[in-house]
Amino acid sequence: MTYDENGIFAKIIRKEIPAKIVYETENVLAFEDVNPKAPVHVLIVPKLRVMSVDDLADEHAQVMGELLLAARDIARELGVNEHGYRLVINTNANAGQEVFHLHVHLLAGRKMTWPPG
């Protein structure tokens, strides 16, 4: 599989289709999930053309660090950091990945169960 330049998140990053953007830096974009699974459900994506964690190269370490720090800042901005939140990165078929542009789900606003189904 190769990265799809016309994929949904590539279009959101290029602002070709709308999304409720909650955070943006040079390397990272975050927006509300269209089909939320919790009261707060934000998707945090690197602007890199990377399909999944399995597609990462060592040179992406800096941007992936920025992604995690973005999650920290977004959780604080949305006021969910103290009660808590879950970060999820689905990778390939068994994890249920549907969109092949690497993304972190930030889920919050309700009690979550463990382990995930």
| Residues labelled catalytic | 103
Residue 52 sits in the site that holds ligand DGP (CB under 6 A)? no
Among 35, 62, 94, 113, indicate the residue that binds ligand DGP (CB under 6 A). Answer: 35
DSSP letter string, 74-85: HHHHTT-TTT-E
Among 33, 47, 87, 112, indicate the residue that binds ligand DGP (CB under 6 A). Answer: 33
Cβ count within 10 A of residue 36: 13
Among 22, 28, 29, 31, indicate the residue that binds ligand DGP (CB under 6 A). Answer: 31
The Cα-based distances of 94 to 47, 90, 98 in angstroms read: 25, 9, 11
Residues interacting with ligand DGP, by CB under 6 A? 8, 19, 31-35, 43, 90, 96-99
